[in-house]
Amino acid sequence: MTRGIDNGLVISPGRVNLLGEHVDYNDGVVLPAAIDCSVKIRFEQRQDNLVSLTAEDMRGRCLLNLDRLEDKTTVEGKQLPVWALYPAGVLWNLLRHGLAVSGFNAQFSSNIPIGAGLSSSAAVEVGFAVVCESLGNWQIDRLDLAQLCQQAEREYVGVNCGLMDQFACACGVENHAVMLDTRSLSYKPVPLPPPTSLVIADSSLRRSLINSAYNERRRDCETVVAYFSKIDPIICSLRDLRVESLLAHEQNLPPGAVRHARHVVEEIARVDQAIKLLEENDAFGFGKLMLATHNSLRDFYEVSRPELDILVESAASLDGCLGARLTGAGFGGCTVNLVLDDRVDHFITQLKDAYKRQTGLEAVIFATRASRGAYLCAQ
């Protein structure tokens, strides 16, 4: 085996989804962007078969044996802490697919808010995959790398996630969103309008009820697909359904299922429209679609909450804001805002004040930019 480098620094970005929410498990197209909040992993080669992990933010450390990853235990036989499952799962899955993984020491830290819907866990997974790639001197396609990380999270960590998070962290392009067709897995970068910035507003509310609500929404989508597939076998997912057909049959379906499916069907159409607008550099048109998506997530998919609505409504009223919406699964977390560059500082100050005045809560609000996917820093 040819050895790679002996030590280095990997930077792995978080991500924000600009449009295409809750469509990834319905064969839709998503439009995320990697952001310049990131996980930083410093690593060095070891001469044995052990991996030492230090999570600086959590003041946690554990030592793993590459031959015993299946056990999900440290070398002392203790159960792995939750934070360690994400890198350990990646190592386990890379080895399972015949890719070289050697022992190493790694210290990592992050400035991605945890639990805010900005994919801190996916950033860790993709970052450690790049560490192994660098040490092992092998390379695979970035989409394949993202799929291996997704598989690790599903099968090792036990979280039934979609591909979008790992994809964005692995395949991000500077100053671009990256379109991913979750049915065909085709993807391409889409330019973001140059006179605008992305501003993230963290509501400070961590997501609650999301597991039960997520499972309920998925069941409703499956119920609608099962109904229509009996009418037309070509319909395999909500991507194959037109909103006119859905509404024509709404009396035969549970009202909640119709509302939830309507969001997905219309959101898939919005993403198609959004890609065209971005390619035409129409920032104002794209911003209007962001607001339409938030309204749909609030009224049809029912995953917003009053504090997120206040952030979006307050943002939309401010000078320089072209679009705003909740991003991520909902029930807490963040909003994403499209703001004219020369109004960003004023926008952040005013939105913080408005949110505090109406909720009594402090929002963490910061400007970010679309970043490249995970990479090994030049030595």
- Give the span between the Cα atoms of 316 and 310, in whole angstroms: 10
- Is 36 catalytic? The answer is no
Closest by CA to 349, choosing from 199, 195, 196, 197, is 199
- Please name the residues in contact with 15: beta carbons below 8 A apart, sequence gap of 6 or more: 32, 33, 34, 35, 118, 119, 122, 123, 164, 165, 168, 169, 172
Q: Answer whether 187's CB lies under 8 Å from 171's CB.
A: yes
Q: One-letter amino acid identity for 329?
A: A
Which residue in the list 24, 27, 36, 165 is annotated as catalytic?
165
Q: At what angle do helices 82-96 and 120-136 cross, to 10 degrees?
A: 40
Q: Would the CA dihedral through 277, 279, 280, 283 be positive or negative?
A: positive
The C-alpha R_g of the chain, in whole angstroms, comes to 21
DSSP label at residue 377: P
Query: Distance from CA of residue 113 to its chain's centroid?
Result: 13
Catalytic residue positions?
165
